[in-house]
Amino acid sequence: MRIVSWNINSVRLRENLVLKLMKELDPDIICLQETKCPNNQFPEKAFAKAGFSHIAKNGIKGYHGVATLSKHAIIESDIVDYCGKGDGRHIAVTVKSGKTAKPVTVHNFYVPAGGDEPDPDINEKFAHKLAFLGEMQNRFKKLKKLGKAAGQVLLGDLNIAPGEHDVWSSKQLKNVVSHTAVEIAELAKVQAAAQWDDVARRFVPPEEKLYSWWSYRARDWAASDRGRRLDHIWVTPDLSPAVSDYGVLRAARGWERPSDHAPLWIDLKT
């Protein structure tokens, strides 16, 4: 089962790029973030025609939004409204790829970016981000306590680049939102809550640069290569041995009218 995560930055604007991705990577599941699309305007017909007839959406008009597209039947779907804002930042689906396969639950997240000032006392957006991460921690702690934290995948735009080599310059970005010490610490607590495995750093060593986002502000994003690893795919420990591959489709950042994020994926033996 190939699972892809991509902050598409408007699914209606980039519908053709999603179709291109389907041909490029031949995935089984595609998790989109920042769809910026109400559910009744989501371009389902084109995706269903391409083989993704099972779709779960949590969208709102103009902002945020997540959606999960699947070739396999969605057994169950669930939306958790973090921080009570109704802002379309999470959807979970459970799928089964075959008669003998075990069900897998995929949590699709779009964590708040947090604004520009890394101080929750003066920046409401940053306070929201920290509160959101706190609620994520509590939710997965409860699932683990109830014995339900197995067969789970957590992915999406988490808007935090935690490692030294997850950003182009850790020294220059240490006080910049997405790489501050407080965010990194909170993300680590989310990871610890269900003992999530950050599979990326098993396939790409921590001492190597690894990015999934490059700003639109750069005249030549590829040449300057000032990226950040804001997008992640984690799995629960029981699924770790089943992950056979990981990658970031960097080339997609150079497609016509691209998202500022590149897709990333894992191959999971189910």
Question: How do residues 159-205 score in pLDDT, each as one tens digit?
Answer: 999 999 999 999 999 999 999 999 999 999 999 999 999 999 999 99
Provide the 10 A C-beta neighbour count for residue 82. Answer: 21
Q: What does the DSSP assignment read for the chain?
A: -EEEEEE-S-TTTTHHHHHHHHHHH--SEEEEE-----GGG--HHHHHHTT--EEEEE--SSS--EEEEESS-EEEEE---GGG-----EEEEEE--STTSPPEEEEEEE-----S---TTT-HHHHHHHHHHHHHHHHHHHHHHTT--SSEEEEEE-----SGGGBS-HHHHTTSTTS-HHHHHHHHHHHHHTT-EETHHHHS-TTS---SEE-TT-SSHHHH--EE--EEEEE-GGGGGGEEEEEE-GGGGGSSS--SB--EEEEE--
pLDDT of residue 206: 94
In the predicted structure, residue 270 carries a pLDDT above the cut 90: no
Distance, in Å, from the CA atom of 72 to the CA atom of 234, rounded to the nearest integer, reads 21
Q: What is the pLDDT of residues 114-144, one digit of tens each?
A: 999 999 999 999 999 999 999 999 999 999 9
The CATH number corresponding to 2-268 among 1.10.20.10, 3.40.50.2300, 3.60.10.10, 1.10.287.180 equals: 3.60.10.10
Res. 94 pLDDT band, cuts 50 70 90:
very high
Residue-wise pLDDT for 11-50, tens only, equals 999 999 999 999 999 999 999 999 999 999 999 999 999 9
